[in-house]
Amino acid sequence: MKATKDDIVVSDKAAKFQLLPTFQRFNQKDDVFRRSWWDKRIRNRKTELFYETYREPLKTWRKVDGFTQKDYALRNATWHVSDILTELKQDEDRREGFSDEFTLYRDVAEEQMDLGSPEEAAAEIKRVGKGFGADLIGITDYDERWMYVNKFSDMSKREKPQEIPEGLPNVIVIAQAMDYDLIRTVPSALSGAATGLGYSHDALVVLSIAQYIRNLGYNAIASMNDSALAIPYAIKAGLGEYGRLGLLMTKEFGPRVRLGKVFTNLPLALDKPIQFGVKEFCNICQRCSVGCPVNAIPSGPPSDTVYNQSNIKGVVKWTVDGEKCFGYWAAQNSDCSICVRVCPYNKDFSSWYTRVGRWLAGTWLRRAMLQLDIALGFGSRMQSKRWWQGERETLLERVRQAVRWVK
């Protein structure tokens, strides 16, 4: 059943979405990564080299920590599974998972299996998704506002129509955690291994969930960065809140996740958005905006500011300048996650003291938590060679950092 206008108002309020009358759906052609293929204002020799080095060795290897041949070798290896799936249909002008949804090679079963109530079916899908390796999984309804107006091909440099068929009212959203210690080495080519692993795992999970649903007799389409904006769907599916750095903030992993989607007509109970104090904390914290080397992250309150065509129009939120951000990626020849590394929500929450910090961040003691986070040295860069040596973060290391900070 299609959502009514009143349903949308209630849903937007729960998700803390603020859409203005000037709202316009986003066209994938305007995404800064897509623009780096066709827009002369973005594309240059550095951006071309940035993409090339994910598949070809550098002509000369750098000796800087985190950018050696071994670092690039690991980064590119983690992308290998995702790359194979993405490139399977390049001769048909398809880059699946990034510009186009995935092709599923087995048809929908003729007989539909009854999974019980929508609540029972949702519980089963989550159990199966976790079995396939999803770290987080939620369910929401299809919302055309977050679907791309058109897709865009990096190869033919042309717009293409949406291919998500009608009649798929539910969206399963999954999140894959990126490795905490790899992210601690940002900026480095080594840290890019966390991103590559996230996408490779993401592809496996969404494809497996989609095929499982098809085997039950229902249609399902697997998707990653293609077809739609993932963050609004993830927020509606109860996976987290929106943060100053322009990313989904999850309770379990902070902003350290990659997202995937499965569109389906399997009747499922929907999840509700959650709040655990992210907006209130981001209002007083500017670690990501201060830490960004190119000042791409705003330091003020949420607004409808649009820096360039790579920003969606008519939404009140914290908006990142994608041109500055990607320009830095190209300049250092690897993706950057400094904003993720320094975020106080980016923690290994298996430790009791990090869970205490997360709780404090959601209370009136959030300013004290922020100062404590800085004093303990969370968010500082770990040298890549320490990662290769197998060093791990310890409470003793944090206490020593706090003592140095006090002195």
pLDDT band at 61 (very low <50, low <70, confident <90, very high): confident
Counting residues of the chain whose pLDDT is more than 90, the rounded percentage is 85
Report H helices in 57-191: 69-78, 80-87, 118-132, 180-183
pLDDT tens, 271-297? 999 999 999 999 999 999 999 999 999
Residue 403, pLDDT > 90, answer no
Least confident of 146-150, 152-156, 207-211: 152-156
pLDDT band at 57 (very low <50, low <70, confident <90, very high): confident
Query: What pLDDT shows up at residue 56?
Result: 78
Residue 31, pLDDT > 60, answer yes
Check: CB of residue 379 under 8 Å from CB of residue 340.
no
Instruction: Please give the sequence-ordered ranges of beta strands (E in DSSP) within 17-126, or none if there are none.
Output: 19-24
Query: What pLDDT shows up at residue 1?
Result: 54
The secondary element (H helix, E strand) that includes residue 170 is strand 170-177
Residue 141, pLDDT > 70, answer yes
Tokens of 15: 């998700």
Query: What pLDDT shows up at residue 395?
Result: 61
pLDDT band at 321 (very low <50, low <70, confident <90, very high): very high
Check: CB of residue 325 under 8 Å from CB of residue 288.
no
Residue 407, pLDDT > 60, answer no
Residue 27, pLDDT > 90, answer yes
What CA–CA distance (Å, rounded) separates 9 from 24? Answer: 17
Q: Would strands 241-242 and 248-249 be described as parallel, antiparallel, or unpaired?
A: antiparallel
Average pLDDT on 98-102 reads 94
pLDDT band at 29 (very low <50, low <70, confident <90, very high): very high
What CA–CA distance (Å, rounded) separates 294 from 210? Answer: 39
Check: CB of residue 16 under 8 Å from CB of residue 279.
yes
Domain regions of the chain by residue span: 24-275, 352-406
What CA–CA distance (Å, rounded) separates 211 from 199? Answer: 18
pLDDT band at 55 (very low <50, low <70, confident <90, very high): confident
Query: What pLDDT shows up at residue 41?
Result: 93
Residue 63, pLDDT > 90, answer no
Length of the chain: 407
The DSSP secondary-structure symbol of 90 reads G
pLDDT tens, 76-99? 999 999 999 999 999 999 999 999
Query: What pLDDT shows up at residue 231?
Result: 98
Residue 400, pLDDT > 80, answer no
Instruction: Please give the sequence-ordered ranges of beta strands (E in DSSP) within 201-350, or none if there are none.
Output: 220-223, 241-242, 248-249, 257-264, 313-315
What CA–CA distance (Å, rounded) separates 326 from 77? Answer: 22
Check: CB of residue 64 under 8 Å from CB of residue 189.
no
Q: Which residues pair with 52 in a beta bridge?
A: none
Distances from the Cα of 300 to the Cα of 217, 285, 319, angstroms? 49, 10, 10
State the DSSP string of 296-317: -S--S--B----STTS-EEE-B
3-state secondary structure of 351: coil
pLDDT tens, 343-362? 999 999 998 989 999 999 99
